[in-house]
Structure 1
Amino acid sequence: MSSVSRIKVMKLSKLLKNTWLLRKSANPASALLAVSVCASLGVSAHAADLLNVVDVALQRNLSLSSAQTNLSATEYELDISRGNFLPSLNVSANTNWNDGTTHQYNGGNANNSYNNHGVNVTLTQSLFDLGDIYSHRNTQTDIDIESLRTEQTRQQIIREAATTYFEYLKNRAQIRATQAELESSESRLTLVSRNIELGNVAGTERYEVLAQKERTADSLRTLKKDQRIILNSLANIVQQPLKPDFDLQSSIQFGAIPPSRQTELNNIMYASDLSLLIAKQAVTRSRQVLKETGAAFVPSVKGSIGYTYDDTNDASAKLYPDKGVTEETVYTLTLDVPILNGGRDYYRYQQNKVDIDRTEIDLQDSKNASQQQFEEFIYNINDFSASLTSLTTIIQANYASYIGIQKAHKLGTRTITDLLSAESKLYSSIRDYESARYDYVINLIQLNERIGNLNMATVGKIAEQMSPMSDDSSQSPIPLHLMVQ
């Protein structure tokens, strides 16, 4: 940094600090309101770094808990389908009391009362059924799909927590710059009002300064409202109030993604993008369902062994054996050959053939959507990278213009309109610069989710380039490191 630039930076920083101190001493009621607002934002909120916020979200987020629970429930379906290949054993018992009377023409009526009871045991085993085989495979595919969806939900939670974290930091930077602009406007309004009373300047100057102050105050009010919404959203994601306390370091580099790296990332996306993997599994499952439906036309074989014990204590029984006890063992081998069932299996088979076409169309649609979003993230990241270079130059130029016009205004060669316009441009360029920094990181996070590579390690690399925030109200909102020539 040249000596002239260093002096300019120090003067501007000192000027801003003095105007903020003047603002607080001149309007204590407003200062108290600002403290109250900050307190309301921080009630029951725990300060946290990026990794801590994401970790808490993964532990407590209800959507992820629901997805994991659903996966556990789906895994039982595999055990259920496996039961089709295992033998089944059924036992039944019965008892009856028989009370009968035979009416006769000759002699008295014949009464016959006795008890009848028995036991039946049946062991059944499916020997060959293609439908069961394909059904079991479909169940395994369902579990694979549910596992992918659970991981997809996990990465969505990481993305939501991380991007909301940086949305808060972006909002905070905008509030900081807008607050400084407001305090500068209020100090200028106080100074102009005093000069008008002394007759040093025209009374019309006050209206321009007042209008700019109110516009800035309105913007600041909206930004603080947005901050509350962001903190509420973050609290909903992590299921507890948390307030970010780490920010991006000023030395971080926001480089563009070169074409070679874009090609590499694109290949990674087609191999690990979860939405594509789910769509591919859906195609696999639809083909297996078609095979399962086709199995309805294939014969099946089932074997069973049944044992029956029957004891009939009928004193009038004349059938052998005279004790009324019968034991029977039955061995059964059943060949089931489907012939006709009203055409239901045929039309179900045709329906599933059409469903394969649908899932293949959905897969292609997912590929197109993923590719489109991938390119958008690449374009945005590279655009923000280039914008930050341009905005650095714009801030430096606006800063030099503001200092020059400020001096000229004191000498009476520039109007208050020129000064207000220069100040507005300076703070607008600062807000644009800060927004571009955070939007770059947000799009980088979204890109990693798109290629299926968003995890704690990815977030950790970003967290390494962050450091604790400074709440020093006397610190200049202008990124002074940009003034290095």
Structure 2
Amino acid sequence: MKKLLSLTIALLASGAANAADLSTIYQQAASNDAEIAAARAIREANSYNVTIARGALLPQAQISYSQTSISSEADSIDLVSGGYVKTDKDYDLSSLEVSASQTLFNLNSWYTYQAAVSGDDAAGLQLQLAEQQLLLRTAQAYFNVLRAQDNLSTAQAEEKAVKRSLEQTKQRFEVGLIAITDVHEAQAGYDLSYVNLLGQEAALDISYEALEQLTGQRFEDVSPLKADVAMEMPQPANAADWVQSGLDKYAGVLIAEASKDGVRLQRNAARSNHLPSVSLFGSYTDADQAPFVGDDPTDSTVTAIGVKISMPLLAGGSLYGQSKQSALNYAAADYQLEKQRRDVKQNIRSLFRQVQTDTLNIKARKQAITSAQSALEATQTGYKVGTRNIVEVLNAQKNLFSAQRDYANARYDYIINLLSLKFYAGTLNEGDIQTLNSWLASA
């Protein structure tokens, strides 16, 4: 018997040790999440836009070679005899050409290159935003599992308590202490608690599925939140400081700023399309020249160097259209930046107030559990002596379990809202994951 007990304890300890914490799950998500992997690939792909645009400003060189075999037949008049002379000639012609050019002045290419650099900055910020979103999504998925676990535990306790009340009610009815209506009321209460239990079991499965989607791995258990975690007011305690942080650091705002700058440069590039461009060019050609009848091919070499100036005179209105289009795109980018700033202000102010409310709500919900427990005990005592009915007992039980559920949800709301506040303030980082990890009970 002792060996069996020891084995059971060992198995339970093994199961607890296998519980994954938030830090472990985040590392798995960072390595396996398809969304962040796509963001990294897009970031790397966008970096080549700079290389492509810079190429138009750097020297260009080409080499070409051709080889042609010619077979000819010609009839000619012999000036001496006056007769026809047939001439057959087979020969090869080859040509080698090397050319190079260097842009000296082209504002369109220069602004296009600068726009590509700005776009690369925006792409880097897009990856930064995706990484911060991954931090937030991982924490949300993790604490949604804990929320579902707590809700399921409460539902199980409620179902068990209501079932016990139903059994006691049936016993009291059998000995004639109560009417059949009390049994029906107790049965209805139990049926509702059982339906709620089934719903919470499904919710837990769904929350684990969301975790698997992030990490590509199935988890069976996660480390729970400690009961004694101090959940304080957000610091700094001034909403204006959080708003300023968001305007300065939130990746969404920074992306909009970089995008606006890139569109401005694209507008400048479009406006410069009508300006002249200047380039330096040079070439070297070594080619065989086709001979006259009866002669052999001759070899010739040509070396050329010069400056080319070109300027569009008429393009059917396309240059004007490009200029107007780029100006409107710049106006749109300015509006989008303003929208981002307004959204950040609104989100931060709302979340700041919500986190403040959450801290007070947690304390109130905790006190509500104590009050609901006392009310249930008093109602149960009254039911035993006949001053309370079964409906009042069931309602008191429901109030207690609701208070427990609301308290657990309030704690998770605080965590998610605090992380969301830091996300929009642009300060969310892996250090926050480590801090939250310290709030979890050790396996």
8 Å CA contact 1:165–1:244 kept in 2: the answer is no
Structure 2 residue 334 is the aligned partner of structure 1 residue 360: yes
Structure 2 residue 63 is the aligned partner of structure 1 residue 91: yes
Query: Which residue is equivalent to 2:87?
Result: 111
- State the secondary structure of the residue aligned to 2:19: strand
Query: Which residue is equivalent to 1:468?
Result: 442
Counterparts of 1:42-441 in structure 2, within 5 Å, are 47-104=19-76, 106-113=82-89, 114-257=91-234, 260-312=237-289, 314=291, 316=293, 324-441=298-415
- State the secondary structure of the residue aligned to 1:252: coil
| Whole-angstrom CA distance in 2 between matches of 1:258 and 1:153 | 25
String of CA shifts for 1:14-41, please: whole Å, max 9, x gaps: xxxxxxxxxxxxxxxxxxxxxxxxxxxx
Query: Which residue is equivalent to 1:34?
Result: none
Structure 1 residue identity aligned to 2:427: N
| Whole-angstrom CA distance in 2 between matches of 1:260 and 1:165 | 27
- State the secondary structure of the residue aligned to 1:119: strand
Structure 1 residue identity aligned to 2:188: A
| Whole-angstrom CA distance in 2 between matches of 1:232 and 1:46 | 18
String of CA shifts for 1:273-325, please: whole Å, max 9, x gaps: 1111111111101100011112212211111111111224736477xxx8722
String of CA shifts for 1:251-279, please: whole Å, max 9, x gaps: 22223347843222111111111111111
Structure 1 residue identity aligned to 2:31: Q
8 Å CA contact 1:115–1:312 kept in 2: the answer is no
Deviation at 1:407, TM superposition (A): 1.3
| Whole-angstrom CA distance in 2 between matches of 1:203 and 1:331 | 110
| Whole-angstrom CA distance in 2 between matches of 1:398 and 1:330 | 97
Structure 1 residue identity aligned to 2:433: V
String of CA shifts for 1:66-93, please: whole Å, max 9, x gaps: 1111111221222222222222221112
- Cα 1:393–1:260 change in 2 (3 A) is closer
Deviation at 1:122, TM superposition (A): 1.1
Deviation at 1:376, TM superposition (A): 2.0
String of CA shifts for 1:200-238, please: whole Å, max 9, x gaps: 332221111111111111111111111111100110011
| Whole-angstrom CA distance in 1 between matches of 2:342 and 2:98 | 59
| Whole-angstrom CA distance in 2 between matches of 1:413 and 1:343 | 92
Q: TM-score, normalised by structure 2?
A: 0.90
Query: Which residue is equivalent to 1:37?
Result: none
Query: Which residue is equivalent to 2:6?
Result: none
8 Å CA contact 1:103–1:110 kept in 2: the answer is yes
Structure 2 residue identity aligned to 1:215: L
8 Å CA contact 2:68–2:94 kept in 1: the answer is yes
| Whole-angstrom CA distance in 2 between matches of 1:313 and 1:297 | 43
Aligned length, in residue pairs: 423
Q: TM-score, normalised by structure 1?
A: 0.83
Structure 1 residue identity aligned to 2:261: T
| Whole-angstrom CA distance in 1 between matches of 2:237 and 2:383 | 52
- State the secondary structure of the residue aligned to 1:255: coil
| Whole-angstrom CA distance in 2 between matches of 1:59 and 1:207 | 55
Deviates further, 324-333 or 279-288 = 324-333
Deviates further, 346-355 or 446-455 = 446-455
Find 2:423's aligned residue among 423, 437, 449.
Answer: 449
8 Å CA contact 1:49–1:244 kept in 2: the answer is no
- State the secondary structure of the residue aligned to 1:246: coil
- State the secondary structure of the residue aligned to 2:441: strand
- Cα 1:365–1:340 change in 2 (3 A) is same
| Whole-angstrom CA distance in 2 between matches of 1:160 and 1:370 | 18
| Whole-angstrom CA distance in 1 between matches of 2:69 and 2:110 | 46
Identity in percent: 22
| Whole-angstrom CA distance in 2 between matches of 1:179 and 1:374 | 37
String of CA shifts for 1:138-192, please: whole Å, max 9, x gaps: 1111111111111111111111111111111111111111211110111121222
Deviation at 1:112, TM superposition (A): 4.5
| Whole-angstrom CA distance in 2 between matches of 1:356 and 1:76 | 24
Deviation at 1:431, TM superposition (A): 1.0
Query: Which residue is equivalent to 1:29?
Result: none
8 Å CA contact 1:51–1:459 kept in 2: the answer is yes
| Whole-angstrom CA distance in 2 between matches of 1:463 and 1:249 | 10
Deviation at 1:46, TM superposition (A): 5.7
- State the secondary structure of the residue aligned to 1:85: coil
